[in-house]
Chain A
Amino acid sequence: MSFLDWIVLSCTLIFIIVYGVWKSRGQKDLDSYFLGNRSMPWYIILLSIIGTQASAITFLSAPGQAYSDGMRFVQYYFGLPLAMIVICIFFVPIFHRLKVITAYEYLEQRFDLKTRVLTSFLFLLQRALSTGISIYAPSIILSSLLGWNIYYTNLFMGGLLIIYTMYGGTKAVSYTQSLQLAIIFSGMFLAGWMVMHLLPKDIGFSEALHVSGKMGKLNVIVTDFDLNDRYNIWSGVIGGFFLALSYFGTDQSQVGRYLTAKTLTESRMGLLMNGLVKVPMQFLIMLIGALVFVFYLYFRAPINFNQGLLNKVHNSEYAPEMQVLEQRYDSLSVQKAGYVKALAAALKTENESEIEKVKSSLKAAETAGDTVRAQAGRLIKKADPLAEVNDTNYIFLHFVVNNLPKGMVGLLIAIIFLASWGSIAAALNSLASTTMVDIYQRMIRPDGTDAQNLRASKAWTLFWGIFSIAVAQFASGLGSLIEAVNILGSLFYGTILGIFVTAFSMKSVKGHAVFWGALLAEVFIVGIYAFNLVSFLWLNLIGCALVMLFAGLWQFVENFIAAKE
């Protein structure tokens, strides 16, 4: 990074921290600290919801996903607008009417204390671990590409945002997220424009789309039904619906965002607008990845986008083998550049037979390139058995660091930080509110004054911040655990959703039945995952259905025994 990049990065981050602290002065009790006195308009709710969901990995991984697997990942979001509608009809009115701070407060009113505590505990467990990974995942990418120390990067990534999150509570989180998103979208728009600008002069937007499409990267809709395929329209609409319903309806990091609204109407409008903009937004982010793919057809791509790993191999006994593979890959890149120029020319003249001929040659060269990349991956594994050779998350950042002008690289790195901070800050706020409201204030110190509660809330925010950084530091040495922790959310979301859906729809079921039904369902979900029976998106639907089934059966048996006695 150049000096100018460092200036841009530092100024952007300092500006966000100062802005967050300044906008959130005057906190005096739990309502102001965790709900911002319920004063937010719908557009702040919308930006805050988007900022909480979109982590750095969203902006790094999605373009990389389009590069390597095409744009079909967009289907993952198809269930989200439908979930927004259901949440607006059933969830939000109840939360507003009861004036709760956390979603889990409602469960004690509907069931009992142990169900509230169980659900809070499941939430705290998965959210705390996944927040640690939200710190670690972008840090490892930045440290690998820029040569930064991973431990300091984790500290920098997770530490600075604690200042404004702890000081300003939810107001600081919401206002900084709005500003962060404005900067993020500007940067992503500039990055998309730069990809087009860097393509050869005779390749316009339409030609680039045609080339990308001919290479199978614009496969937005996949209609084949396969339970083990993560991204098709069926898993997207059905599985995605239950995932979004669980996430937005029962995860305090999101519930806490729309409970800050002035009125029920403002909450609903924020959620519905999210339903309108989320799918097109994700489509545009992935389109950048499909265009980066076209860029790397014309210009040399590295054999693996994770530069840190390549450097490791070059400094090992496997360096000569890697050099041979890289030479082979480079000659294939030259071939591909020739074919793609011929394909673009054939597309302009609409010569169908020539298009098919050149497309076949280009695809053959691409397949040969993928084979060499796989060989390089095996070589990397030999040099570093713990290495993660999948470089999907590194593709977009590699493009940014190596091709964008000075200043813009700093801006894009700042965007990685801001995107991380938005979701981590909301997570810390939700962890603190759940610990404070559902456990500390409910069971440990129910008679605290406003000042004491406020101090304790800030202390819990600090505690969860330090805990998350510790998880991130621990993850540094345990690469294989990362995927397991990422799937943790899917293991618990279905059960949590099932508890809420039972509360809303099965009026005869009592606390005892839903508590044991939820525990049983959780055991089944872990079993289904352990035996790899379905893709993780379906676990939310299955978990929800199992809780309802077991809770209903338990209540039936309880009623039956009571009647006999």
Chain B
Amino acid sequence: MQETPEEKPPVFSRWSAWYWLVAGVLAALIVFFYLFTKNYS
């Protein structure tokens, strides 16, 4: 599909940056949960 001007993402210049952000936050959460589990078990 052709990208039209209004389909540019907010904040970042490319959609791939948003995708990396979502995947990165998930990875960070999993690391946090792992440490959380270790710390409190």
Q: Is A265 interfacial (CB 8 A cutoff)?
A: yes
A81 touches B23 (CB 8 A): yes
A219 touches B6 (CB 8 A): no
Chain A window 205-228, contacts with chain B (Cβ cutoff 8 Å), 1 for yes, 0 for no? 000011011101011110000000
A221 touches B30 (CB 8 A): yes
Could you tell me which residues of chain A, from 251 to 298, have a CB within 8 Å of some CB in chain B? 263-265, 268-269, 272, 275-276, 279-280, 283
Contact status of A82 and B23, CB under 8 A, knowing A219-B37, A220-B36, A280-B29:
yes
**Chain A residues near B8 (CB-CB < 8 A):** 265
Nearest 9 Cβ contacts at the A-B interface: A213-B40, A220-B33, A218-B40, A93-B1, A81-B26, A275-B22, A85-B19, A221-B34, A221-B37
**Chain B residues near A279 (CB-CB < 8 A):** 26, 29
B25 touches A81 (CB 8 A): yes
B23 touches A263 (CB 8 A): no
13 A-B pairs in the complex with CB atoms less than 8 angstroms apart: A81-B22, A85-B19, A88-B18, A88-B19, A94-B1, A210-B40, A219-B37, A219-B41, A221-B33, A221-B34, A269-B10, A272-B22, A279-B29
**Chain A residues near B34 (CB-CB < 8 A):** 220-221
Contact residue among B7, B15, B18, B30 (Cβ-Cβ distance under 8 Å from A78): B30
A321-B31 Cα distance, complex, nearest whole Å: 48
A115-B13 Cα distance, complex, nearest whole Å: 39
Contact residue among B6, B21, B26, B29 (Cβ-Cβ distance under 8 Å from A265): B6
Q: Is A62 interfacial (CB 8 A cutoff)?
A: no
A269-B7 Cα distance, complex, nearest whole Å: 11
Contact residue among A78, A84, A97, A269 (Cβ-Cβ distance under 8 Å from B1): A97
* Beyond known contacts A265-B8, A269-B10, A275-B22: 11 more, CB 8 A cutoff: A85-B22, A89-B15, A89-B19, A209-B40, A210-B40, A218-B37, A220-B33, A220-B37, A233-B30, A265-B9, A283-B29
Residue of A nearest to B36 (CB): A220
Residue of A nearest to B6 (CB): A263
Chain A window 88-124, contacts with chain B (Cβ cutoff 8 Å), 1 for yes, 0 for no? 1100011001000000000000000000000000000
Q: How many residues of B contact A (CB 8 A)?
A: 23
B41 touches A213 (CB 8 A): yes
Residue of B nearest to A209 (CB): B40
Contact status of A216 and B7, CB under 8 A, knowing A78-B30, A268-B15:
no
What is the distance, in angstroms, from B5's C-beta to the closest C-beta of chain A?
10
Interface size class of A (residues with CB under 8 A): 20 to 34
B37 touches A265 (CB 8 A): no
B37 touches A78 (CB 8 A): no
- Interface residues of B: mostly helix, strand, loop or mixed? helix
Summed over the interface, the residue pairs from A and B with CB atoms below 8 Å come to a total of 71
A104-B30 Cα distance, complex, nearest whole Å: 35
Contact residue among A81, A212, A264, A269 (Cβ-Cβ distance under 8 Å from B40): A212
**Chain A residues near B19 (CB-CB < 8 A):** 85, 88-89, 272
What is the distance, in angstroms, from A231's C-beta to the closest C-beta of chain B?
13
Could you tell me which residues of chain A, from 172 to 216, have a CB within 8 Å of some CB in chain B? 209-210, 212-214, 216
Q: Which of B9, B37, B39 has the most CB of A within 10 A?
A: B37
A338-B30 Cα distance, complex, nearest whole Å: 35
A88 touches B1 (CB 8 A): no
A218-B36 Cα distance, complex, nearest whole Å: 8
**Chain B residues near A275 (CB-CB < 8 A):** 22, 26
**Chain B residues near A220 (CB-CB < 8 A):** 33-34, 36-37
Could you tell me which residues of chain A, from 72 to 91, have a CB within 8 Å of some CB in chain B? 74, 78, 81-82, 84-85, 88-89
B22 touches A264 (CB 8 A): no
**Chain B residues near A269 (CB-CB < 8 A):** 9-10
What is the distance, in angstroms, from B24's C-beta to the closest C-beta of chain A?
10
What is the distance, in angstroms, from A5's C-beta to the closest C-beta of chain B?
35
A212-B37 Cα distance, complex, nearest whole Å: 11
A269-B1 Cα distance, complex, nearest whole Å: 18
B22 touches A265 (CB 8 A): no
A283-B30 Cα distance, complex, nearest whole Å: 11
A497-B10 Cα distance, complex, nearest whole Å: 30
**Chain A residues near B39 (CB-CB < 8 A):** 213
Contact residue among B9, B10, B33, B40 (Cβ-Cβ distance under 8 Å from A283): B33
Residue of B nearest to A97 (CB): B1
Residue of B nearest to A273 (CB): B22
A78-B23 Cα distance, complex, nearest whole Å: 10
A265 touches B1 (CB 8 A): no
**Chain A residues near B37 (CB-CB < 8 A):** 218-221
**Chain A residues near B21 (CB-CB < 8 A):** 276
A279-B25 Cα distance, complex, nearest whole Å: 10
A88 touches B15 (CB 8 A): yes
Q: Which of B21, B30, B33, B40 has the most CB of A within 10 A?
A: B40
**Chain B residues near A210 (CB-CB < 8 A):** 40
Residue of B nearest to A262 (CB): B6
Residue of B nearest to A271 (CB): B22
Residue of B nearest to A220 (CB): B33
**Chain B residues near A85 (CB-CB < 8 A):** 19, 22-23
What is the distance, in angstroms, from A88's C-beta to the closest C-beta of chain B?
7
**Chain A residues near B22 (CB-CB < 8 A):** 81, 84-85, 272, 275-276
Contact status of A263 and B36, CB under 8 A, knowing A89-B19, A218-B41:
no
A68-B29 Cα distance, complex, nearest whole Å: 23
**Chain B residues near A78 (CB-CB < 8 A):** 26, 30
